[in-house]
């Protein structure tokens, strides 16, 4: 393991706990010392000298990088590659952009080295106790380390949450989309908090209780679970939630933005995810938002039966959650065709059921949908999913209506609902856009029931 930060160190210790002999390298001697103080079942050695580290590995050597994406990965590869022999393997376990993974694979192949990119999800706890992993690239190289990764992965119903994703950069692409879905789900939960707090005037205890109840039903997920806990966390001696002291400026590491950019390139809409990315950006303009709050009227409480509204809010969050997953899976399906990944959509859902940040009960429904129809074009076209969506849409509409009327910002909710309403439309108003384009730019149009490309002189000269 090259890089003994939180993720690299815990992943290495996880391997050692499963009886594997492992070695770790880091330029920071203190991190190497910390590794040596751990108690594990297997054998683990730490090194601060790279040549010595490489010499202690059995052939074919398998070296995994867990360092920040970008130039640091290239620098690490440049240092390591000359010390390896043909047939050795380098694994990039960070959040690298998939185009960088393609480039690195070609460069290392020319040197006789195997390479694959692997997305790892689950955070610090997942790395130590069992993550979800998405390896893609050289299938032969993956077989070398497959027993290790299957042993350390999270398990759901006895199945390891790792599988060979596909060729090239497929593993990093799938992890990127995983993170895009994660952005969407986090924004939806934040907007739910906004409705609860500003719209319904719920206390922290009431919000905690609602999320506790939801986590025991169809919304059960890791993100709902940790949100429940956040709504109960107070620092020692404090009379209010720690949450209330946290500045409302959300940061990011770029994977959500990458997901939106790729979707734009593929001309595939993922508005729930796009909106989540935009809202993180908007949150950073704190000074401007404070100034605007003094110029415009504030929000109002939502009137009506609070219990009924809370029930509708559960429907709305469930509905929007389905939409966020559906958009992400649609992007994966399209990218699979575009980039030749040959993704197995059911297997992706399968390995996301445990270990990763977006693990949820609903992933079992996604798995079953794609298992039943491996060529399913869009998740919303599955009959079982449609029944669940139809059962929640009324609550979704009532929440969007009430929140909008009260001046409460729920952009990811509204984006999800509008996407759904457009997706279920047999005829969209896009014909008017084509007419406009032809009017001002002679861009032509096609006609219903008539072959060919047409242009009309819309105005008299």
Catalytic residues: 175, 182
Which residues pair with residue 356 across a beta bridge?
none
Q: Which residues contact 256 (CB under 8 A, 6 or more apart)?
A: 179, 180, 182, 183, 273, 276, 277, 280
Q: Name the DSSP letter for residue 2.
A: B
Structure tokens at 233: 């966390």
Q: How far apart are CA 381 and CA 364, in angstroms?
A: 16
CA 449 from chain centre, in angstroms, equals: 42
Q: How far apart are CA 5 and CA 35, in angstroms?
A: 10
Structure tokens at 133: 């992993």
Exposure b/e, 101-134, CB count within 10 A at least 16 = b: bbebbeebeeeebbbbbbbbbbbeebbbebbbbb
Q: How far apart are CA 81 and CA 79, in angstroms?
A: 6
Q: Which residues contact 119 (CB under 8 A, 6 or more apart)?
A: 93, 95, 133, 134, 135, 171, 172, 174, 175, 176, 178
Say if residues 354 and 155 touch (Cβ distance below 8 Å): yes
Specify the 3-state DSSP secondary structure of 295: coil
- End-to-end CA, the chain: 72
Query: Cα–Cα distances in Å, from 271 out to 183, 363, 386, 413, 421?
Result: 12, 20, 20, 10, 13
CA 181 from chain centre, in angstroms, equals: 4
Say if residues 341 and 165 touch (Cβ distance below 8 Å): yes
């Amino acid at each position: 393991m090259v890089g003994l930060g939180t993720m690299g160190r815990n992943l290495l210790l996880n391997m050692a706990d499963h009886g594997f002999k492992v070695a770790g390298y880091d330029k920071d001697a203190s991190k190497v010392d910390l590794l040596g103080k751990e108690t594990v079942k297997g054998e683990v050695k730490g090194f601060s000298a790279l040549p010595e580290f490489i010499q202690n590995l059995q052939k074919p050597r398998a070296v995994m990088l867990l360092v920040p994406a970008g130039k640091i990965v290239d620098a690490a590869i440049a240092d390591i590659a000359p010390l390896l022999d043909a047939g050795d393997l380098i694994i990039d376990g960070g959040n690298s952009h998939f185009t960088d993974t393609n480039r690195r694979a070609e460069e290392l192949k020319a040197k006789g080295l195997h390479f694959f990119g692997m997305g790892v999800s689950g955070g610090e706890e997942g790395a130590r106790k069992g993550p979800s992993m998405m390896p893609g690239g050289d299938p032969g190289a993956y077989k070398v380390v497959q027993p290790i990764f299957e042993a350390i992965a999270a398990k759901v119903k006895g199945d390891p949450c790792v599988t060979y994703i596909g060729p090239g950069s497929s593993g990093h692409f799938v992890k990127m989309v995983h993170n895009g879905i994660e952005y969407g789900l986090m924004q939806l939960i934040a907007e739910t908090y906004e409705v609860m707090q500003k719209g319904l005037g719920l206390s922290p205890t009431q919000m905690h209780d609602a999320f506790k109840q939801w986590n025991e039903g169809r919304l059960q997920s890791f993100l709902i679970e940790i949100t429940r806990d956040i709504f109960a966390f107070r620092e020692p001696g404090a009379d209010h939630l720690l949450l209330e002291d946290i500045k409302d400026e959300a940061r990011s590491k770029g994977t959500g933005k990458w997901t939106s950019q790729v979707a734009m390139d593929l001309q595939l809409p993922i508005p729930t995810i796009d909106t989540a990315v935009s809202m993180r950006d908007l949150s950073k303009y704190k000074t401007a938002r404070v100034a605007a709050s003094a110029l415009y009227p504030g929000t109002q409480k939502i009137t009506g039966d609070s219990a009924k509204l809370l029930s509708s809010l559960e429907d709305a969050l469930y509905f929007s959650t389905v939409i966020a997953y559906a958009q992400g899976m649609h992007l994966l399906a399209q990218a699979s065709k575009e980039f030749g990944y040959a993704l197995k959509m059911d297997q992706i859902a399968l390995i996301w059921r445990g270990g990763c940040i977006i693990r949820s009960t609903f992933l079992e429904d996604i798995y079953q949908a794609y298992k039943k129809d491996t060529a399913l074009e869009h998740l919303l076209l599955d009959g079982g999913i449609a029944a669940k969506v139809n059962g929640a849409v009324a609550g979704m509409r009532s929440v969007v209506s009430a929140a909008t009327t009260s001046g409460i910002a729920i952009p990811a909710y509204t984006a999800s609902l509008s996407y759904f309403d457009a997706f279920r439309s047999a005829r969209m108003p896009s014909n008017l856009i084509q007419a406009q384009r032809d009017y001002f730019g002679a861009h032509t149009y096609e006609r219903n029931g008539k072959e060919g490309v047409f242009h009309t002189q819309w105005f008299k000269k």
